[in-house]
Amino acid sequence: MKIISVIVPCFNEEESLGIFYKTTLECISKISNYNFEFVFVDDGSTDNTLAILEELSKKDSRILYFSFSRNFGKESAMYAGLKNASGDFAVFMDADLQDPPSLLPEMINAIENEGYDCVATRRVERKGEPVIRSFFARRFYKLINKISDIEIMDGARDFRLMTRQVVDSILELTEYHRFSKGIFDWIGYKTKWIDYQNLERVAGTTKWSFWKLFKYAIEGIVAFTTMPLKVASFFGMIISLISFISLVFVVVRRLIFGDPVGGWASIVSILLAVSGIQLICVGVMGEYLSKTYMETKRRPLYFIKSTNKKARK
Ligand code: UDP
Ligand code: MG
């Protein structure tokens, strides 16, 4: 029988883990012909998440857990989950039941009978989310789709079922600054999209602050496009052109009319504007440089402090 690995990144999910496990179990018990394996990745939780996982794994031998030495972020947890999943298929699911396990039969069917390699999900609206967060999320998707070669669906979740081939392809991308939503598109393969209504978290609170999301958005842009660098060069060229024209203008005026004094205000404004733009461009370059710097260190994506399985490497 084929095995499906359910990969669940958990960061301080003590309130939702029990109900997640119970609900998912109910769903998968109705799916015959497949065996399931749970791969829980405790992303350095500071609450009772690990204790709950240890408890669950004693009762259910299909449960594997891996506990990080600190919080490495959801991306690292997802990678660790994939690395340690042994299934023929793998699916990512959040611990808060925002990814409904009831969609699993439809997803499995799409891969087995409709010839897809991957089934991804997206929520069609963002009910229950702060308005400002939705606004910036939408702007982000518009922007990254415009300036990069990858295409990310607005509202795309990490909830997706993949074949072993897709899993192995993702594992080959070992970059330090990971942006999975981009990686999923970048690797290719035939993907089916399933829409569903947004569900609110069953318990606990979101682990993503606005600042964390903002940094994640920058990560995505820097990881998948060098367009900001091109914009910086473009600014440079435009300003050089304007400066050259002004220079000719000033010199000609000097030759014809002598040496007029004045224009202090305009000089200061130009100076401030140009140095501002210069700083922004240096900042953009710095962003890429710092990412390159971190990437060259080749640091591991995570450390596993405890597990009930000897981790494969
Ligand atoms: N998560 C994680 N590490 C983090 C942040 C989140 O493993 O640093 C997990 C979290 O436990 C949950 C999933 O990622 O299972 C999605 O997080 P959350 O529900 O807080 O995000 P939201 O649904 O609000 O975008
Ligand atoms: Mg959630």
The predicted pLDDT at position 311 comes to 44
The predicted pLDDT at position 3 comes to 94
The predicted pLDDT at position 309 comes to 84
Look at the chain and report how many structural domains it folds into. Answer: 2
User: Count of alpha carbons within 13 Å of 20, Cβ hemisphere only?
Assistant: 27
- Residue 15 CB–ligand 1 contact under 6 Å: no
Instruction: Note the pTM of the prediction, 2 decimals.
Output: 0.84
Q: 10 with 89, same domain?
A: yes
The predicted pLDDT at position 237 comes to 83
In a domain, 25, yes or no: yes
Q: Please identify, by atom number, the ligand 1 atom nearest to the C-alpha of residue 13.
A: 11
The predicted pLDDT at position 265 comes to 73
Nearest of 9, 11, 134 to residue 75 by alpha carbon: 9
In a domain, 51, yes or no: yes
Question: Tokens 């602050």 identify what position?
Answer: 209
CA dihedral sign, ordered 58, 59, 64, 66:
negative
The predicted pLDDT at position 260 comes to 66
Residue-by-residue pLDDT tens, the chain, 313 positions: 999 999 999 999 999 999 999 999 999 988 888 999 999 999 999 999 999 999 999 899 899 999 999 999 999 999 999 999 999 999 999 999 889 999 999 999 999 999 999 999 998 877 777 888 888 888 888 998 888 888 888 888 999 999 999 999 999 999 998 999 999 999 999 999 999 888 888 888 888 888 888 888 988 988 888 888 888 888 888 888 888 888 888 888 888 887 767 777 778 778 887 888 888 888 888 889 988 898 899 899 999 999 988 644 4
In a domain, 81, yes or no: yes
Q: In DSSP terms, which residues pair with 65 in a beta bridge?
A: 40
Q: How far apart are the first and last CA of the chain?
A: 25
- Residue 134 CB–ligand 1 contact under 6 Å: no
The predicted pLDDT at position 294 comes to 86
Atom 3 of ligand 1: nearest residue by CA position: 74
The boundaries of the domain holding residue 184 are: 2-208+299-307
Q: 148 with 188, same domain?
A: yes
In a domain, 213, yes or no: no
* Rounded CA separation 159/192 (Å): 12
- Residue 160 CB–ligand 1 contact under 6 Å: no
* Rounded CA separation 239/51 (Å): 60
Q: 185 with 66, same domain?
A: yes
The predicted pLDDT at position 183 comes to 94
Q: 93 with 162, same domain?
A: yes
- Residue 99 CB–ligand 1 contact under 6 Å: no
Q: 112 with 16, same domain?
A: yes
Which segments of the chain does DSSP mark as H helices, in order?
14-29, 49-59, 74-84, 104-113, 131-147, 164-172, 180-186, 210-224, 227-257, 264-296
Q: 183 with 258, same domain?
A: no
